[in-house]
A and B are shown apart, each in its own frame.
Chain A
Amino acid sequence: MPEVKLVNVTKRYGEILANDHINLTIKDGEYVSVIGPSGCGKTTLIKSIAGIITPDEGEIYIGGKLVNNIPIEDRSIGYVFQNIALFPHMTVWNNITYGPTVKGMVPEETRALALEMLEMIKLGARSDAYPNELSGGTQQKTAVARALMSRAELLLLDEPLGALDVKVRAELRYELRRIVKDLGLTALHVTHDQEEAMSISDRVIVMKKGRIVEEGAPISLYTQPKNLFTANFVGEANFLTGVIIEMAEEGAVIEVGDGTRLMTTNKDRSVGERVVIAFRPEYATIEKKGGTNTFSGEIEDMLYSGSIVRLRVRLDNGELIVVKKALSLGKPAYSAGDEITVKVSPENLLVYPYPKEGLSKELALE
């Protein structure tokens, strides 16, 4: 029953609040990711749950039991480290049997479980190898197996794929999720890679400056982020500032820059309010001149990255937006210097009140 519950967990490093009254519940069997820029306090959070860091205030419960004063070794958790941390002086076999051995488990039982684990990570043939003889991906899989060997039902993953190559990282993501779900574990996964978090978890938590700013299912975080920081941090977004000039029946009408008016579906604002509009680059389409919900501008340059191309468009009102298109074979339809018209349909425009401290401060990662 490893439900994890944090109540007002706070940790200070001098002046800096690494965790500022964090309240969080991870349900039994749930795969939760914590994302946020470097220094947002996500590592402090996971280390507090493991007992590596002692919080200054607040309570941490694992399976309903208060664990604040319980040392690391008695919390019965599996912890996977970014730098892998397989014991360099032990073979794969000795590494994965370490947990059961120090816990005094019966050798026969340990042996059976270890064989099962090696089977799961498909490493049966290499159990005599030393960690430095294995590839990075295999090392990390071994580390996961080692963490699971102590029969922990709560798996804490601290940037587990951070030290690996891009390809290996993508492959291991699915493997991790498969293992966690197959064994019915509860998992907390910390990463700065939002794509990794989106593709692996049931629920994503976004942190900034020691606080949780938003949480939700990956899809809703992407399509309906509740605040500007999330909209910017999760995926890519364009931001335009404007003022509501009318509350129509369908939603607010917003004027951005030199008279361009955009229809939105947002209904809970009032006329005269200063707002920020956000939209994903892939929701913008390139249209013929004229039409509703369009702006015109000039393509400044085009950035190719594999399957997609990003057009950087300087709007007539001077602002810069990015439009994402799938890359097709043949002659490109546009080139730098072309005048184009960009359309975003009302339901794809997200509206936020203008932040008190200014837009750039709100979006800042540091």
Chain B
Amino acid sequence: MGLRTKSSNVISKLVVWTTLGAFIFFVLFPTFYLISYVFLRWPEVQLEVFENPIIGDENWRQILKVLSFSFRLSLSAVAFDLVFGIPLAYVLARKRFPGRSLLEDIVTLPLVIPTSGFGFATSITWTTVAGIGGWLGLGTGLVTNLNVVIPFLNVPIVLFIVHVALTFPYIVRTIETKFESIDTTFEIASRTLGASSLTTFRNILSPLSIPGIFSGAVLALARSLGETGASLIVSGVSSTASIAIVRWTSEFKLATAAFMGSLLVVIAWAIILPAELYVGRRGRGLRISYQLPISIYRKIMKFERFASRRLSRLKDGLPIVVVVLTVIVPIIVVLNSVIFYWSADPYTGKVQGGVVYQLFGPPNYFSILQQATVTSIIVALTSTYIAMCISIPLSFIIERKWYGEIIRTILKVPLIIPTSSLGLSVLLLWGSSGFNLVSPGIWLIILTHIVFSVPVIVESIIASYEGSNIQMYEESARTLGATAYNAIEAVSLPLIKGGILTGFILSFTRSLGETGATFIVMGRDITVPALVVNMVEALAIPAALFTSTYLIVLSLILLVIIRILTRR
């Protein structure tokens, strides 16, 4: 007995240390290497960015310009998201209507669809005659080209639309969850006291939901700042911070790219850390006390009363229009266009402009696509498998050790840092300027994908772990004579099976769709989402159409599988 306890103790220590080692090696190092790189090679950075002998501090001015553009874009997208996302979250949380779960799925769709394919779909929807312009009979796109900007904001309109679509789910789902957690009795109480539904929303639901609204906005902001895949396709002549990192890396301006990448990481941290602290604190919500003259107050109340009655259709309808325009229409356009462009360019009649010619003719994109699919699947499977081996024991460590919370907080970082920064960090760490172990190619892609796959899987396992009272079942298994290992194998693992499966699929999907980081580390190997970017850059539009459709259909199938798995 004593011997058994001793050896199992040694094994359990071994498991913990191996897991922690793998976590540090595969996740922690790649995430934070970029910042240390900047410190380690500061003279180089200083020379390239601030005191370039030829262009002076031009690179620094570029960084500032790109950063300010990125923030303008992200903040305005988040503001737009909030205006339309809060009413939608309210409807999803409080109303029961047919098609509600379908609407929920549609809102979630941009999280699953590979961003480059989605970006391409959006760009043809708005800027070409195959999209909305053609439907309206304009003969051109609704927006003349990708460089048309929104007045005042000075942000390209299509880029803005893509960022709204990709960040909308973060706002809606986070706020919806928050609304659902608030007892409806508070709202009913307010109504019985004479407040209209809008007044109730302003006085009761919104102050109680501030933490949720805040964290939704922060997540959306981080997502927008880090978005690369779709932006590469629709940004036109302008450049976001994430795109700049990709571009500068390819131009071998590594020090500038690394410096900006670490700036982005630090900024993302600076936004998210206080938000996490604020939201984690159990507060009473926001307390606003203001005193308005009674006459103005009465007018506000009267307007709210009017709006609650008359404008509620508008409030319910507009967000749905936004979702349809930004998510559904692009998908339909892209599916439709593939058929349209199948045999030849429908406008010029040239077969060279058809899908068939580009895929199977001299450009022979089909064999490249086949190769890319194999690469994508190998990458997704291998990185998910390795991430799984780290994540399962890591989840148990997070739940049971005192330092678990620290690991969990660190794990949030790879999820929020811009993927292009992550790619650059991995490249610098493993590549010739770091350990010099792996050069760009499929293995480096796998190493990159492991970094964000681990947090995705861990979060999903933890959600299922915390929802199923594991500790109690395991203790009862132990009282029945099971060893610690036995209890985990026979009781805990089966209980969190759902979480493990969901984590697997989420990580697989994410890996399949990742563009920003992959673009930097892929070398000569290419994945399908990166291929879309290359096709668009080579102006092989029909091939890009086909590949985007292919990606969208693939991810829709995965979404259905997720739905079936999580419904149980």
Find A102's partner among B203, B208, B284 (CB 8 Å cutoff): B203
Any B CB within 8 A of the CB of A306: no
Query: A86-101, CB under 8 A of B: which get 1 and which 0?
Result: 0111100000001101
If A72-B192, A73-B192, A106-B294 touch, does A83 touch B287 (CB 8 Å cutoff)?
no
Any A CB within 8 A of the CB of B190: yes
A123 to chain B, nearest CB (A): 18
Any A CB within 8 A of the CB of B183: yes
Any A CB within 8 A of the CB of B196: yes
Any B CB within 8 A of the CB of A337: no
- Distance A106 CA – B295 CA, assembled complex (angstroms): 10
- Distance A137 CA – B294 CA, assembled complex (angstroms): 34
Query: A127-140, CB under 8 A of B: which get 1 and which 0?
Result: 00010000000000
**Which chain A residues border B286 with CB–CB below 8 Å?**
89
Which of A76, A99, A147: most chain B CB closer than 10 A? A99
Q: B186, A87: Cβ atoms under 8 Å?
A: yes
Any A CB within 8 A of the CB of B199: yes
- Distance A89 CA – B286 CA, assembled complex (angstroms): 7
A51 to chain B, nearest CB (A): 8
If A83-B185, A85-B185 touch, does A130 touch B194 (CB 8 Å cutoff)?
no
Find A89's partner among B191, B192, B287 (CB 8 Å cutoff): B287
**Which chain B residues border A146 with CB–CB below 8 Å?**
193
Q: A102, B194: Cβ atoms under 8 Å?
A: yes
**Which chain A residues border B351 with CB–CB below 8 Å?**
none
B34 to chain A, nearest CB (A): 41
Q: A102, B192: Cβ atoms under 8 Å?
A: no
- Distance A347 CA – B362 CA, assembled complex (angstroms): 107
Any A CB within 8 A of the CB of B398: no
If A83-B183, A89-B287 touch, does A104 touch B192 (CB 8 Å cutoff)?
no
Q: A98, B190: Cβ atoms under 8 Å?
A: yes
Q: A102, B199: Cβ atoms under 8 Å?
A: yes
Q: A73, B194: Cβ atoms under 8 Å?
A: yes
Q: A104, B297: Cβ atoms under 8 Å?
A: yes
Any B CB within 8 A of the CB of A52: yes
A361 to chain B, nearest CB (A): 34
Residues B387-416 near A (CB distance < 8 A) = none
Any A CB within 8 A of the CB of B204: yes
- Distance A195 CA – B225 CA, assembled complex (angstroms): 63
Find B191's partner among A73, A87, A149 (CB 8 Å cutoff): A73
Q: A99, B193: Cβ atoms under 8 Å?
A: yes
- Distance A98 CA – B189 CA, assembled complex (angstroms): 10
B278 to chain A, nearest CB (A): 15
If A104-B294, A104-B298 touch, does A89 touch B207 (CB 8 Å cutoff)?
yes
With both beta carbons as reference points, the residue of chain B lying nearest to A105 in the complex is identified as B294
Q: A50, B194: Cβ atoms under 8 Å?
A: no
Any A CB within 8 A of the CB of B441: no
Any B CB within 8 A of the CB of A272: no
Residues B168-208 near A (CB distance < 8 A) = 183, 185-186, 188-196, 199, 203-204, 207-208
Any A CB within 8 A of the CB of B285: yes
**Which chain B residues border A77 with CB–CB below 8 Å?**
192
Q: B183, A85: Cβ atoms under 8 Å?
A: yes
- Distance A101 CA – B199 CA, assembled complex (angstroms): 11
Any A CB within 8 A of the CB of B491: no
Which of B191, B207, B287: most chain A CB closer than 10 A? B191
Q: A78, B192: Cβ atoms under 8 Å?
A: yes
Q: A150, B183: Cβ atoms under 8 Å?
A: no
Query: B295-329, CB under 8 A of A: which get 1 and which 0?
Result: 00110010001000100000000000000000000
A-B contact count (CB 8 A): 81
- Distance A88 CA – B186 CA, assembled complex (angstroms): 9
If A89-B207, A104-B301 touch, does A81 touch B185 (CB 8 Å cutoff)?
yes
With both beta carbons as reference points, the residue of chain B lying nearest to A108 in the complex is identified as B294
Find B188's partner among A72, A89, A98, A99 (CB 8 Å cutoff): A72
Any B CB within 8 A of the CB of A31: no
Which of A50, A78, A102, A150: most chain B CB closer than 10 A? A102
- Distance A149 CA – B185 CA, assembled complex (angstroms): 18
Q: B186, A98: Cβ atoms under 8 Å?
A: no
**Which chain B residues border A52 with CB–CB below 8 Å?**
188, 191-192
With both beta carbons as reference points, the residue of chain B lying nearest to A83 in the complex is identified as B185
Q: B185, A99: Cβ atoms under 8 Å?
A: no
**Which chain B residues border A90 with CB–CB below 8 Å?**
287
Any B CB within 8 A of the CB of A79: yes
Q: B194, A99: Cβ atoms under 8 Å?
A: yes
Which of A74, A77, A104, A106: most chain B CB closer than 10 A? A104
Query: A64-81, CB under 8 A of B: which get 1 and which 0?
Result: 000000011111111101
A105 to chain B, nearest CB (A): 9
**Which chain A residues border B185 with CB–CB below 8 Å?**
81, 83, 85
- Distance A88 CA – B199 CA, assembled complex (angstroms): 17
**Which chain A residues border B188 with CB–CB below 8 Å?**
52, 72, 79, 81, 85
- Distance A89 CA – B208 CA, assembled complex (angstroms): 7
B299 to chain A, nearest CB (A): 9
Which of B192, B207, B294: most chain A CB closer than 10 A? B192
Any B CB within 8 A of the CB of A356: no
- Distance A83 CA – B195 CA, assembled complex (angstroms): 20
B339 to chain A, nearest CB (A): 44
- Distance A64 CA – B554 CA, assembled complex (angstroms): 63
A25 to chain B, nearest CB (A): 22
**Which chain B residues border A288 with CB–CB below 8 Å?**
none
**Which chain A residues border B204 with CB–CB below 8 Å?**
87
**Which chain A residues border B208 with CB–CB below 8 Å?**
88-89
B206 to chain A, nearest CB (A): 10
B108 to chain A, nearest CB (A): 29
Any B CB within 8 A of the CB of A331: no
**Which chain A residues border B294 with CB–CB below 8 Å?**
104, 106-107
Q: A88, B284: Cβ atoms under 8 Å?
A: yes
- Distance A328 CA – B308 CA, assembled complex (angstroms): 65
- Distance A75 CA – B195 CA, assembled complex (angstroms): 11
With both beta carbons as reference points, the residue of chain A lying nearest to B288 in the complex is identified as A89
**Which chain B residues border A167 with CB–CB below 8 Å?**
none
**Which chain B residues border A71 with CB–CB below 8 Å?**
191, 196, 309
**Which chain A residues border B191 with CB–CB below 8 Å?**
51-52, 71-73
**Which chain A residues border B305 with CB–CB below 8 Å?**
73
Which of A74, A78, A88, A130: most chain B CB closer than 10 A? A88
**Which chain B residues border A107 with CB–CB below 8 Å?**
294
Query: B191-233, CB under 8 A of A: which get 1 and which 0?
Result: 1111110010001100110000000000000000000000000
With both beta carbons as reference points, the residue of chain A lying nearest to B302 in the complex is identified as A104
* Chain B contact residues, CB within 8 Å of chain A: 183, 185-186, 188-196, 199, 203-204, 207-208, 284-287, 294, 297-298, 301, 305, 309
6 more CB-based (< 8 A) A-B contacts, given A71-B309, A73-B191, A103-B193:
A52-B188, A73-B305, A89-B285, A89-B286, A101-B297, A102-B190
The 5 A-B residue pairs with the shortest CB-CB distance in the complex, in nearest-first order: A99-B193, A79-B192, A72-B191, A102-B195, A104-B298
10 A-B residue contacts at CB 8 Å? A52-B188, A72-B188, A73-B192, A76-B194, A79-B192, A81-B188, A83-B185, A85-B189, A98-B190, A149-B193
